[in-house]
Chains A and B, each alone.
Chain A
Amino acid sequence: MSGFFKSSIGRKVSMALSAFFLMFFLLQHLSINILSVLSPETFNEVSHFMGTNPLVQFVLQPVLIFAVVFHFVMGFVLELRNSSARKISYAKNNGAGNSTWMSRNMIWSGITILAFIGLHFIDFWFPEINTKFIQGDWSGTMEGIQGFRYHEELVHKFINPARVAAYVVAFVLLGLHLAHGFTSAFQSMGGTAGRKKTLQTIGKVYSIIIPAGFIFIALYHHFKH
């Protein structure tokens, strides 16, 4: 079995498996974040549950970090191998004549998402680690704020228009990444035969809803503030 994951197809399958996990994560992330618009109290309660539940914190969070790191590292490894498979480029190449921009530029949309994850770590993850694991404060509260702190922190993040602009750009690129990645993951798993059109439709809907939802949340809080 280890030989399988060293093969070109095995590597693609491992990319697809990590992609499935990340796509499921995005869906649940959006479902929780949209609560910040619909019901701040529910958002606070769900956020506190996610931020303090041992299963989420000590099992799912490490799996998520592994999946993110693996997906990026394997993406770069495959890109390097693919580049070395053509040492001399064509003088004239009409890539747009036979494939989509998204499919040819997964590495660039991926690098943009990586940069966004860097920003997201600075904004959210590092402060959370500091509060919970270094200061040992698992209360979910903050001085000067009644109840849980999560909604207030989220709203505060979207005051800065530069951050909102970065969110919009990153999520547009995420949408393009997903527009190809969704069906591509199923194809790598050998699953599109006979169901291609259905998967393409679901992929299109998914790759629009996910970024549009996150962009809506950022713009909503920015302009409501």
Chain B
Amino acid sequence: MIVVRLALQSLRNRWITALLTIISISLSVALLLGVEKVRTAARDSFSSTISGTDLIIGARTGDIQLLLYSVFRLGNATNNMSWKSYRDIAKRGEVKWAVPLSLGDSHRGFRVLATTADYFKYYQYRDHQPLQFTEGQVFGDLFDTVIGADVAKTLRYKLGDKVVISHGISAIGQKHDARPFTISGILKKTGTPVDRTLHISLKAMEAIHVDWGTGMKMPGRTTPATVLRRMPLRTKVITAALVGLKSRMQTFAMQRHVNNYRAEPLTAVIPGMTLYKMWALVGTAETALIAVSALVVTTAILGMMIMIFSTLNERRREISILRSVGAGPKTIIGLLVSEAVILTALGIVVGAGMLYALLWASRSAIDQHYGIYLAVTAPSQNEYWALGAILLGGFVAGLLPAWRAYRVSLADGMIVRT
């Protein structure tokens, strides 16, 4: 159809402003979609990190803090809980299983988690999925370690490789270089912090600290490994414990019991509820982010409206020519509105394309650094609604200049009066 062709040619004639408009809309669309994607991906990866654990127990601290340092390896424990309390609780009749966790050391930026072989049996992520090994098995020897998928991938480790653990979590900490560990197993990728963790046994954790005083290596003393293997290594403190109960009905009673534990101030949290609390906390920030991106989109659409308005004057002739050959208000308004809709639609397509390209290119880096797995999936229903709303916004933004153009063309009559 000639009118459509002429509309496109008119747009091509003003390609610089049209292009800039498309770019500004597409950037705003990419921002909005990006915020939404990261938000849902962050929620997803947080909620799928732990599953099947009824309670997490640690020294008295904030609920969220306990969850963050025990499961997400974010931040540090301010206090430890005693082994005695752990045993005492683990022995209770309601408890089906309990796994102690001890954190504090690291290897080249990856956290080291000391635990028992039960961890690989009971820890579950995303809808009750257990941990699986791609290669090897649980630590057999005292100085064996099981590493997560990302550790293996990033540091290019394979079974049998030796690794040295550093004291503390900073990369410049003193090294337990007298006691290298051998990789006995590599875990399958889970998309959780487990991927970025090296697992050793609680005994090994004690063993590497044998010649240490409080936070410092004692100079000149190195107990040989053979001696260590024969030593009665006893764990005195742990960071936290994961607990599974025989019946979920007992969760609250058990939580109350732990929180009122006499011998030592402890905290027990229910992972799901604590996550929920955390979302409530983070929710405000999320809403703010979305509001800001929505404003950016609005600004971009307003920019397009300004662009169309500013071309109206130079297009008065174009419009009066169309009127003179018999184009009615429908055609004139349709012309300007469809221009707005075309620009918005192109902005949406380009913006979504940009975002997906960016996601695709950066997802492994984001996964590595922030532990957020960004799935490159089709837009969710929410996102479709948002895109639909943007398109509608573009349509409405086109109506105003279109209406004005028609009014002006009426006032102009047949000849543009300037």
- Do A and B associate with each other? no
The interface of chain A, by Cβ under 8 A from chain B, is none
The interface of chain B, by Cβ under 8 A from chain A, is none
